[in-house]
Amino acid sequence: MNAGLEALRSQGRRLTPQRQLVYGALLDHPGHATADDLFAGLARRLPGIQRTTVYRTLDLLVEVGLARTVRLGRSTSYEPVREGVESHQHLVCDQCGSTADVGLPALFDRVRSAAEAVGYQVSRIDLVAHGTCAGCAAAGPATGLGR
């Protein structure tokens, strides 16, 4: 299950229970999670774990290619890298804050072409679309007026 983590050993890194838990929590988390989200969940299972460790582990996972960062809100979020996916699209509801993923398979190629026209060689794409989710649209379109 934590098969991906085996990659650590081949790079001289060690496979510790903390790392397994952090990676597992990341895989379990729907969508994406902040370091603190993961820490909160993990603290229950492994009381002694430290925020620092979660940050350092996420950093490591990104370095090794098992995770990637996504910037949505005030703090950095992480999501596991799954095979065959080089592009991620997130939908964010500006009213309730809920998020969802949407797939646009052809997006990557089109952005790559456009970027090459400007001299850039693109390796990864993050797209964030803001709007209103079905729930909020139904609940109260009028609610969106005030501030």
Partner DNA sequence: TTTTCTGCAAATCTTTTGCACCACG
Partner DNA sequence: CGTGGTGCAAAAGATTTGCAGAAAA
**Chain positions contacting its own copies, by CB under 8 A:** 63, 71-72, 74, 76, 89, 91, 93-94, 100, 102-104, 107, 110-112, 114-115, 117-134, 137, 147
Interacting span for DNA (CB under 7 A) from 54-62, 92-100, 110-118, 129-137: 54-62
Question: What amino acid is encoded at 147 in this protein?
Answer: R
3-class secondary structure, 99: strand
Q: Does residue 52 belong to the site contacting DNA (CB under 7 A)? A: yes
How many Cα atoms are found within 13 Å in the side-chain-facing hemisphere of 74? 1
Closest separation between CB of residue 139 and DNA, Å? 25
Q: Does 34 bind DNA (CB under 7 A)?
A: yes
Contact 89, 73 (CB under 8 A): no
By C-alpha distance, which of 52, 57, 54 is closest to 42?
54
Q: Which two tokens stand for residue 79?
A: 């999501």
Whichever of 20 and 132 has its CB closer to its own copies, that residue is: 132
Nearest to DNA of 58, 136 (CB atom): 58
Query: Of 45, 48, 72, 67, which Cα lies nearest the Cα of 57?
Result: 67
Which residues lie near DNA (CB under 7 A)? 8-9, 12-19, 34-36, 46, 48-53, 55-57, 59-60, 74-76
